[in-house]
Amino acid sequence: MARYWGVEDLGRYAFVFAFIAPFSFLTDLGINLLIIREGARDKERLRLYVSNGIGLSTILSSFTLLLVFIGIYFFKQAWDVRLAVLVAGLYLWVGAYVQLLRGSFHALERMEYETLASATGRIFTAGLGALVIIWGGNLIELVLVFLGGRLINLIIGLSLYKKKVGLPNWGSDLRVWKELIGKAYPFGLNLIFSTIYIQIDQVMLSLMRGDRELGFYKAAAALMINLPLIAGVLNSSLLPIMSREYLADKSRLIKLFEGSFRYLFAIGFPIALGTTILAPRFIALFFGEKFVPSILALQILIWTVPLRFVNSTFGTVLTSINRQKIRMVIVGLGAGFNLLTNLWFISRFGYIGASITTLATEFLLFGLVYGNVSKLFYRLSIVKNCYRPFFAASLMGVMVFLLGSFHLWLILLASILFYLGLLYGLGGFSSEDREVLSTVLGRWGRGGER
């Protein structure tokens, strides 16, 4: 996209999705996450929650769409950017139903259904989106492709849900609606706070420094935008199991917690270290010489990846032990810190300041979630669980630096093999780690049957 559209157009694209992001929580107020936890514990209530969630989300998402329509007119943007925002609002509206189905599939521990629906929509979006960009399409056409991909996701998800459970009804029980809102709002507020500290800097960059600086920032962020999905897939798969084990077997919950932490740190830390060293080559490969200023931003932002990985694990534990309100407060503090510090850092340092603030926010969140999980449930040993991948990744980093003149893909292949081999030799894959992996893969393969 950046090679065809340039820095300013990339910034306009980033503004559209950054603008609608804070509205996303209003479409279901976190009901999908409540369905995952409560549905895993009580399958009888799952269908009741899903049907009433559909009715409630229809009203909420329609109200959200109206707010998006009104909100964009307070911003001085070109007409095509405003229209693209309105189309993106419809993307949110459809997404409310997608998220409800996603929650039900995870509660039923049929994650392969969610993956099939999501992957099909993403393939459609990536394929047709690439053609739109290559053939000289505009911003509105590209956002329409995103809407089409989300619709495909919904249609496939509905057909799979009908096969497993039956076609969901429109629920309008006010008593259940009240129960859903009362239990789900901490999840919803957690989502909006997360969205604020992840996306608000892009809106602020556009308004305070212009689309060019936003384009440099977006280029760096784009290279790591899908990496948090690794943690999301693992922890969303573990959430229904963790929620059930909290009531049944807390010792097994601790094993799942430690295993998730080790896996995600072992993935995230070498990615951050290797990307820091190879950032100039990544930017040159994917974006070209016009985006050289994005190199430093990438070298800063990439370190949010291992932090977001492990923060996701701690947050999942808080949710599974019924401490989602504490998680909400923690993320709210992070959002407030991010917003206030961005006002100063962006005004003085632009997109580099936004990068520093994002990383500082993740460090703050780590300290808060680690402290609260240690106090309320279990104190995880950082040194015990991190020293093997830290040592293996550090040696890998030296190797990457020494191989700097070789072909990029050769360096990547050699570094991955070297790291995995060294980690295995150091005993980095314990029996508990294999148990966590087999638990997750087993749920995918057996559809959650016990």
Long-range contacts, stretch 227-233, CB < 8 angstroms, 24+ apart: 227/268, 227/271, 227/305, 228/305, 228/308, 228/309, 228/312, 230/264, 230/267, 230/268, 230/309, 231/264, 231/268, 231/308, 231/309, 231/312, 231/313, 232/312
Place of tokens 């995995």: 420
Q: Report the interhelical angle of 111-134 vs 2-20 (nearest 10°).
A: 130
Report the pLDDT value the prediction gives residue 279, as an integer from 0 to 100: 93
Complete DSSP assignment for 31-59 = HHHHHHHHHHH-HHHHHHHHHHHHHHHHH
Do 186 and 325 contact (CB within 8 A), yes or no? yes
Report the pLDDT value the prediction gives residue 449, as an integer from 0 to 100: 43
Report the pLDDT value the prediction gives residue 294, as an integer from 0 to 100: 92
Report the pLDDT value the prediction gives residue 437, as an integer from 0 to 100: 67
Count Cβ atoms below 10 Å from residue 255 Cβ, excluding itself.
17
Alpha-helical runs (H) found in 250-405: 250-286, 294-301, 304-320, 324-376, 382-402
Rounded CA-CA distance 62/92 in Å is: 10
Do 282 and 298 contact (CB within 8 A), yes or no? yes
Report the pLDDT value the prediction gives residue 295, as an integer from 0 to 100: 94
Residue 169 DSSP symbol: P
Residue 296 contacts by C-beta under 8 Å, 6 or more apart in sequence?
A: 352, 355
Count Cβ atoms below 10 Å from residue 274 Cβ, excluding itself.
23
The torsion angles phi and psi of 303, rounded to 5 degrees, stand at -75, -5
CA-closest candidate to residue 10, choices 161, 179, 192, 225: 225
What value does the CA radius of gyration of the chain take, rounded to a whole number of Å? 22
Residue 113, token pair as written in the block:
């259904």
Domain boundaries, the chain: 1-212, 223-450
Residue by residue, pLDDT tens for the chain (450 residues) are 555 566 677 777 778 888 887 787 777 778 887 887 777 676 677 778 878 888 888 888 888 888 888 888 777 777 788 888 888 989 988 888 888 888 888 777 777 788 888 889 889 988 888 888 888 778 888 889 999 999 999 999 888 888 777 777 777 778 888 888 888 878 778 877 887 777 788 888 888 888 788 888 888 888 887 787 788 778 877 887 888 888 888 888 898 898 889 989 999 999 999 999 999 999 988 888 888 999 999 999 999 999 999 999 999 999 889 888 898 899 999 989 999 999 999 999 999 999 999 999 999 999 999 999 999 999 999 999 899 999 999 999 999 999 878 898 999 999 999 999 999 888 877 766 666 666 665 555 444 443
Angle at 42 between CA 38 and CA 47, to 5 degrees: 85
Report the pLDDT value the prediction gives residue 406, as an integer from 0 to 100: 87
Give the per-residue SS3 of 109-134: CCHHHHHHHHHHHHHHHHHHHHHHHH
Rounded CA-CA distance 232/226 in Å is: 10
Residue 311, token pair as written in the block:
């923060």
Do 192 and 47 contact (CB within 8 A), yes or no? no
CA-closest candidate to residue 320, choices 242, 378, 231, 252: 242
Complete DSSP assignment for 277-299 = HHHHHHHHHHT-GGGTTHHHHHH
Q: How far is CA 329 from CA 38, 190, 359, in A?
A: 21, 8, 19
Report the pLDDT value the prediction gives residue 4, as an integer from 0 to 100: 57
Do 36 and 106 contact (CB within 8 A), yes or no? yes
State the burial class of residue 116 (Cβ atoms within 10 Å of its Cβ: 0-12, 13-18, 19+): middle
Rounded CA-CA distance 352/360 in Å is: 12
State the burial class of residue 112 (Cβ atoms within 10 Å of its Cβ: 0-12, 13-18, 19+): middle
Rounded CA-CA distance 446/235 in Å is: 18
Report the pLDDT value the prediction gives residue 450, as an integer from 0 to 100: 38
